[in-house]
Amino acid sequence: DQQVKQNSPSLSVQEGRISILNCDYTNSMFDYFLWYKKYPAEGPTFLISISSIKDKNEDGRFTVFLNKSAKHLSLHIVPSQPGDSAVYFCAAFPGGSGNTPLVFGKGTRLSVIA
Amino acid sequence: KAGVTQTPRYLIKTRGQQVTLSCSPISGHRSVSWYQQTPGQGLQFLFEYFSETQRNKGNFPGRFSGRQFSNSRSEMNVSTLELGDSALYLCASSLPTGTVNSPLHFGNGTRLTVT
């Protein structure tokens, strides 16, 4: 049972436009969410996170929005750049204990076209 | 500070063989997690070690095992390899406080191909 779902396997966006990557989760115990970016032949790198006490977290061109009632989060990249082309993974875990493994989605491949 | 180091980068094995993968965490990180990445399945959690003890285990058969040494370095072993074990195996480390305050830092992975 996929607890973290990224329903779009791929997304293409023009350079300079907004990229919106979506993620849904089913486990209501999840209260801490992260996005990772992965380039080919490299491991995933941490991008941005959000706690359930917030509905938005911003870091430069990257903003993550959380809608707890809908169990939905999204990553916005504005403006999109060719270097953003990568696979993006959404991840979640119940943050209370601090030692529960992260649960990852299957990833969305973003292609930013120059 | 050096990142997470995984060796080897690539490995080709035959069905039925066994394999050992190695991971050196970031200095000071005592938690090491292992994930399997296959096309279409994302990252599947294998196990996590902290202070030489397995703290969490994912839903994988007993052919998959691991251990952690006193210097926090970790190894994972897969016995009786099957074709379906072909995947990218990723190791990640974090501070003792766990992922709330310390996101996982991943290595570049070991690409295992079983023929």
Distance from C-alpha of B3 to C-alpha of B61, rounded to nearest angstrom:
29
Total residues found in chain B within this entry: 115
The predicted pLDDT at position B19 comes to 98
Contact A43/B at CB under 8 A: yes
Q: Chain B residues with CB inside 8 Å of A99's CB?
A: 31, 48, 50, 55-56, 98
Question: pLDDT band for position B39 (50/70/90)?
Answer: confident
What confidence category does residue B42 fall into, taking pLDDT thresholds of 50, 70 and 90? confident
What's residue B96's pLDDT?
A: 63
Chain segment B64-110, per-residue pLDDT in tens: 999 999 999 999 999 999 999 999 999 999 886 555 567 889 999 99
Chain B CB within 8 Å of residue A39 CB? no
Q: For the segment B25-37, what is each residue's pLDDT rounded down to a tens digit?
A: 999 899 999 999 9
DSSP secondary structure letter of residue B47: E
Which of B99, B102, B106 to mutate: most A Cβ within 10 Å? B99
List the single best residue of A25, A48, A104, A109 to mutate versus B (max B Cβ within 10 A).
Answer: A104
Bridge partner list, B91: B34
Question: Residue A31 has what pLDDT?
Answer: 86
The answer to whether the CB atoms of A102 and B97 lie below 8 A apart is no
Q: pLDDT value at position B108?
A: 96
Chain A within 8 Å of B49 (Cβ-Cβ)?
no
β-strand B31-38 against B42-50: which pairing, if any?
antiparallel
Pairwise CA distance, residues A98 & B7, whole Å: 28
Q: What is the pLDDT of residue B35?
A: 96
Indicate the range of A92-96, B9-13, B17-21 predicted with least confidence.
A92-96
Closest CA to A92 of A77, A105, A81, A78: A105
Chain A residues lying within 8 Å of B104, measured CB to CB:
46, 102
pLDDT of residue A94: 74
3-state secondary structure of A1: coil
Q: Which residue has the tokens 């072993």?
A: B77
Q: Chunked in runs of 10, what are the mean pLDDT values of chain A (114 residues)?
A: 90 98 93 93 93 93 96 97 97 71 92 96
Length of chain A measured in residues: 114
